[in-house]
């Protein structure tokens, strides 16, 4: 790192949305480790994607922002909010914007487009399915509690990516000046695994009997409706899983090597670390 770059990084303040979530937490950690000042922004910190009136207070005086919308990135609410926030950010001088998007997700294109407001130095990071979906969040909780993961995607290979690699790529993009401005970076893990193979790896690491039970996207949607999800959200997710898990993503992307100059973290190492931390310990 040059002295000039070190100075720029030391003086840089980044707003990290979703700072208590899977990626935001790691982006905040990696950004602090790189010497940036982090301004965490989730509801616990007074930032609400549903209350634009409060956004300026969070953005003012910052240099950059990491945007991870809590709804799926392609949901209409995400498109509208990201576009609106990007406009407000640029108007306040926060021009460096990094959006978390999803690899192979046609539905996310309008949100990516909404980020590209005049004056923004934007980067889109399109991630594969997170490895951490198996250890953090609602799917993980179901797997830990019931010993079974019920999900679409039977036999479809996916290169699950460790969210720490996503965070490292985001921070590298933030601290590399304009090197990754106006670019889309696609990141995946180093090898393809089906959901069944991934759960088998998790079971081995956890020393527990855990199973994957495939269901059709439509049947999965019916389950979500039983849990009280509104019909329009169910319809969106059925369509999303149907398309994302049709084999289009059964290939690797080299964003981690391209940006970080190293191989992505492997799923087995992730599973062993998460197991050691108690992620799948039965009640």
Ligand X SMILES: NC(=O)c1ccc[n+]([C@@H]2O[C@H](COP(=O)([O-])OP(=O)(O)OC[C@H]3O[C@@H](n4cnc5c(N)ncnc54)[C@H](OP(=O)(O)O)[C@@H]3O)[C@@H](O)[C@H]2O)c1
Please give the residue ranges that form the binding site for ligand X (CB under 6 A): 18-24, 42-44, 47-50, 68-70, 72-73, 100, 102, 127, 129-130, 133, 137
Residue 151: phi and psi, rounded to 5, are: -160, 150
Alpha-carbon torsion (271, 277, 281, 283), positive or negative: negative
Give the residue among 208, 210, 214, 220 at the shortest CA–CA distance from 194: 214
Closest approach of ligand X to the CB of residue 215, in Å: 18
Q: Nearest-CB residue to ligand X?
A: 21
CB closer to ligand X out of 43 and 60: 43
Do 179 and 235 form a contact (C-beta atoms < 8 A)? no
For strands 148-151 and 96-102, give the pairing. Answer: unpaired
CB closer to ligand X out of 77 and 215: 77
Residues 113-139, buried b or exposed e (16+ Cβ, 10 A)? Answer: ebbebeebebbbbbbbbbbbbbbbeee
CB closer to ligand X out of 64 and 78: 78
CB closer to ligand X out of 177 and 229: 229
Closest approach of ligand X to the CB of residue 120, in Å: 18
Closest approach of ligand X to the CB of residue 144, in Å: 16
Closest approach of ligand X to the CB of residue 104, in Å: 10
């Amino acid at each position: 790192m040059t002295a000039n770059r070190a100075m720029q990084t030391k003086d840089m303040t980044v707003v990290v949305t979703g700072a208590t979530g899977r990626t935001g937490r790691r982006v905040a950690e990696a950004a602090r480790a790189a010497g940036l000042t982090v301004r965490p922004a989730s509801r616990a910190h007074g930032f609400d994607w549903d209350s634009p009136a409060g956004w300026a207070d969070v953005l003012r005086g910052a240099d950059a922002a990491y945007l991870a919308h809590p709804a799926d990135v392609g949901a209409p609410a995400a498109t509208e909010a990201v576009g609106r926030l990007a406009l407000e950010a640029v108007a306040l001088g926060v021009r460096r914007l990094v959006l978390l998007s999803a690899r192979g997700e046609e539905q996310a294109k309008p949100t990516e487009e909404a980020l590209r407001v005049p004056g923004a130095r934007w980067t889109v990071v399109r991630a594969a399915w997170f490895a951490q979906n198996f250890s953090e969040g609602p799917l993980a909780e179901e797997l830990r509690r019931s010993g079974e993961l019920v999900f679409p995607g039977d036999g479809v290979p996916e290169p699950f990516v460790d969210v720490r690699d996503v965070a490292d790529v985001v921070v590298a993009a933030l601290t590399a000046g304009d090197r990754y401005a106006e670019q889309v970076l696609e990141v995946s893990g180093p090898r393809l695994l089906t959901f069944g193979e991934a759960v088998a790896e998790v079971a081995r690491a956890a020393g527990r009997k855990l199973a994957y039970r495939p269901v059709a996207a439509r049947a999965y949607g019916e389950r979500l409706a039983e849990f009280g999800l509104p019909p329009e959200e169910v319809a969106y997710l059925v369509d999303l899983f149907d398309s994302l898990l049709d084999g289009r993503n059964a290939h690797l992307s080299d964003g981690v090597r391209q940006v970080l100059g190293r191989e992505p973290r492997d799923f087995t190492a992730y599973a062993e670390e998460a197991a050691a931390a108690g992620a799948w310990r039965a009640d």
